[in-house]
Chains A and B, each alone.
Chain A
Amino acid sequence: MYVFLIRRVLAAIPVVVVVTIFVFALLHLAPGDPAAIIAGDLATAEDVAKIRAKLGLDQPLMIQFFTWAGQLLRGDLGNSIFSAHPVSQLIGQRLEPTLTLTVMTLFISILLAVPLGVIAAWRVGSWIDRGVMGFAVFGFSVPGFVIGYVLIWVFAIELDWLPVQGYTPLAKGFWPWLSNIILPSVTLALAYMALIARITRAAMLETLSQDYIRTAHAKGLATPHVLLRHALHNAAVPIVTVIGIGVALLIGGVVVTESVFAIPGLGRLTVDAILRRDYPVIQGIILVFSGAYVLVNLIVDMLYTVLDPRIRY
């Protein structure tokens, strides 16, 4: 197990390096010129060229890359081209809201979706099953921003229970923090629950029909026991996979949700940085993201071995 762990972590390094080079090349080959954005709309090409030179953006791509990579090896992600803030600080500022949103969403959706999926599979064909499946379809066929707007309208404007927008750090109190994060988490969770419930149900149906379940049933084991002990246990592998994949999907959803609710998280930092071509920031975020993916997938792979001892590494 430990050997596996070390091997995996070592294997992750080339992944991150390749991603880094790939992203750097793509970014710098794509059109868009931070110097032009800095100079402003009414600046002339000469002004833009001067600023570009000052930023070192007129250097050959290779030199720019090695300058950046050199900094990186010293643990320095560089500074934003625009605000001159260190990239690590910018990411640090944005980590809490995004982590809160992600964890809260995962919490809500797993808590609700896995039982829903299990019940739907157990009572397959019943009105419960149809209800769950109908909800699943609804959940991921409505765009996140529409759900967000409806929730704002109902819970923040009409009922006046929760704030419209913004984020309050946990340090400033539990309720202010929670009240700001409820609507965005529910917005995100709705689509995500739909996915988890569907896959849970599918995996459960698969397992329920396998021989040993039939055997268990024939042996006269009580239904909830069979359901939980055998079926869920075996269905866990695909479910965990989907949750692992879902973390990746969450990052995409976070971008939209953070925009709708004006939450200063990593998603918005990414979009802002892309739109203004703040290269060091984009590159820094990519590094953080790839790190997170590698970690999540590592955890998922380890969960496989725990959940299903037949899988070995």
Chain B
Amino acid sequence: MSVYRRNAFRATAAGALALILASPWSAIAQSVLRLVPQADLKILDTVQTTNNITSNHGYMVYDTLFSLDGKLAAKPQMVESYSKSPDSLTWKFKLRPGLKFHDGQAVTAKDAVASILRFSKRIPAGVTMMQFAKEIVATGGDTFEIRLNKPFGLVLETLAGPENPLFVTREADAQLDPNTAMTTAIGSGPFMFVREEWVPGSKVVYKKNPDYKPRSEPADGFAGGKLAKVDRVEWLVIPDSNTAVQALIKGEVDIIEIPQTDLLPLVRKDPNITVKVIDRVGTQAIYRMNHLIPPFNNAKARQALLYATGDQRDYLSSMIGFAEYEKPCWAVFICGTPFETQAGVGDWAKGDKKANIEKAKALLKEAGYKGEKVVVLDPVETHLAHAQAVVTAQKLREIGMTVELAAIDWGTQSARRQIKDGPDKNPGAWNIFHTWGGGLAMNSPLSNTPTPSACDGKNWFGWPCDEELEKIRLEFPLAPPEKQKEIVERLQKRFYEVVPYIPAGQFFAPVAFRKNLSGILDTPRLVLWNIEKK
């Protein structure tokens, strides 16, 4: 008894002591911004992977040559000045003076050129630009040129691309093969990566870069002065969405990048928390069919899916469940952008369920569907994709298809969707999988990954094949800006004839943060510069 007492006393004393020590200490301590990221940072290389979380890491430690401002126009960032030759074939760039990597080396034109080249071997926008480029060379310590064979209208857009941004790394790092992981994280951005404190799967730590030279303009979108206003940033991975929300309510974390929308009623009651959509472009949910095997090797069967999907409401409410964050949208290149159009969108979008089901059944009959089993991949641990898969299974049953909802994990889906064969040759055969794409990548025929439909079988999983669609798509980069909309309209019309994939609705994921934060920028992706913590 007495021993127990003494220990209990000791524990209490230690606790009290810690509290006394803690309060003055935290007053003089650095300001720490704690964020629950959308996923764990698995990979540091922003070229090897196209995962969002890795480009979020890129935004912390690296800087970009150009950036999109709040109106999504490309503005110089590391570049001080640039010019275009009258024939539009030579682009000259000059870097801002005084830029330094975190290891103290100055940023040179050579670093920029090597970074562009590595980026352009892997990221679709860069790959496209290289088809027009003759060479990219450093012409001086801080000047470089992009020399083209034929005019390419999207040079600045490519350099400023926000989804998989072109980050400038040291030349030595950029000489790595794009498929070999870059394991360093030495950039010239507003924050520095603290490698010693990185616990993969749990915690990523950054500290303020004291030598960062921000632009003089105020921060605007991704552009302008990127001033780090906290000393330290911690990404805390909290795998349980409920726990993450509790931690925010308790003030153990300051921001949740993408809180699960179903849990928002919990934080909305709290006067200390703001829930806000900063991404005004949004995200598009899609599902993709395997075009190589029956039944969706037949265009009529794919059209039937348009009618089955109808007004997209069931998808959106299962994924999001808040009307204000949902936007039914059949514009392939995203609603709310210059390329939004209703071309080719049929009467399925009206959402008359009974008529839609009848029409879908008729189309399936025309396609010669005879009750073959349709395998829908269902990555059950992924909130959004699981919701989509369950809805699709029901939709297909409603139009008379036989469905197997294959319960798997996301990793298995990533592997299994590579299988081209039918069930007779491979038991892992699939017919439909679900995913989603950031609006800023989906909104251009160039960067929209699932649309390319060349018949070489090298396009994105599902392998749609339609030369006509592909021909229209490739007109896009050659066209002057005023003709682009017309091309997009023709493209979308053809899209809904051959149906490479099905858009299942657009949504806007809000950010939840505590009210003692200010300066959160309205960017399609949460960036952490300019944020102050009181």
Contact = CB atoms under 8 A, between A and B. Distances in A.
Nearest to B253: A165
A259 B460 contact: no
The interface size bin for chain B is 35 or more
Contacts of A272: 40, 201
Interface in B1-25: 11, 14-15, 17-19
Chain A interface main SS type:
helix
B18 A264 contact: no
B386 to A, nearest CB: 14
Given A84-B181, A262-B239, A32 B415 contact: yes
Interface stretch (B152-160, B219-227, B240-248, B466-474): B240-248
Contact of A46 (B19, B435, B458): B458
Interface string A145-182: 10001001100110010011110000001111011000
Interface stretch (A33-41, A125-133, A290-298, A302-310): A33-41
B244 to A, nearest CB: 8
A268 B239 CA distance: 9
7 contacts: A33-B414, A37-B42, A37-B410, A45-B418, A82-B200, A84-B181, A276-B42
Given A174-B18, A264-B201, A42 B246 contact: no
Contact of B416 (A31, A145, A160): A31
B354 to A, nearest CB: 35
Given A31-B416, A175-B18, A44 B50 contact: no
Contact of B252 (A34, A145, A165): A165
Given A38-B49, A163-B250, A90 B15 contact: no
Given A36-B414, A45-B458, A264-B203, 8 more contacts: A42-B449, A44-B460, A45-B418, A47-B179, A82-B42, A84-B181, A175-B15, A259-B239
A183 to B, nearest CB: 11
Contacts of A153: 246
Contacts of B240: 145, 259-260, 262
List the 9 closest A-B pairs by CB distance, nearest first: A264-B202, A40-B50, A33-B415, A36-B414, A175-B15, A175-B18, A83-B200, A42-B449, A50-B179
Contacts of A48: 418
Contacts of B352: none
Contact of B418 (A33, A152, A174, A275): A33
B414 A32 contact: yes
Interface of A: 31-34, 36-48, 50-51, 53-54, 80, 82-85, 90, 93-94, 145, 149, 152-153, 156-157, 160, 163-166, 173-176, 178-179, 259-262, 264, 268-269, 272, 275-277
A51 B239 CA distance: 27
A80 B40 CA distance: 14
A92 B14 CA distance: 27
Given A31-B412, A32-B414, A37-B411, A156 B381 contact: no
A160 B250 CA distance: 8
A156 B18 contact: no
Contact of B238 (A38, A45, A165): A165
A16 B201 CA distance: 27
B249 A157 contact: yes
Given A51-B48, A268-B239, A90 B252 contact: no
Contact of B14 (A32, A174, A276): A174
Interface in B160-215: 177, 179-181, 183, 198-203
Contacts, number: 153
Nearest to B49: A40
Chain B interface main SS type:
loop
Nearest to A45: B418
Interface string B110-152: 0000000000001000000000000000000000000000000
B422 interface: no
A227 to B, nearest CB: 20
A42 B437 contact: yes
Nearest to A272: B201
A171 B484 CA distance: 61
B70 interface: no
B262 interface: no
Nearest to B461: A45
B243 A262 contact: yes
A25 to B, nearest CB: 17
Contacts of B239: 259, 262, 268
Nearest to A84: B183
B51 interface: yes
Contact of A32 (B40, B201, B246, B411): B411
Contacts of A33: 411, 414-415, 418
A280 to B, nearest CB: 13
Interface string B359-383: 0000000000000000000000100
Interface centre among A31, A33, A166, A174 (most CB of B within 10 A): A31
Contacts of B246: 152-153, 156-157, 164-165
A32 B412 contact: yes
Nearest to B251: A164
A268 B202 contact: yes
Contact of A31 (B42, B177, B183, B428): B428
A166 B252 contact: yes
A148 to B, nearest CB: 8
Contact of B250 (A37, A43, A164, A261): A164
A93 B122 CA distance: 33
Contact of B441 (A42, A85, A152, A264): A42
Contacts of A94: 199
A153 B40 CA distance: 25
B43 interface: yes
Contacts of A269: 201
Contacts of B428: 31
A145 B202 CA distance: 19
B35 interface: no
Given A84-B183, A264-B202, A165 B409 contact: no
Contact of B236 (A37, A152, A157, A166): A166
Contacts of A165: 238, 243-244, 246-247, 252
B410 A275 contact: yes
A100 to B, nearest CB: 15
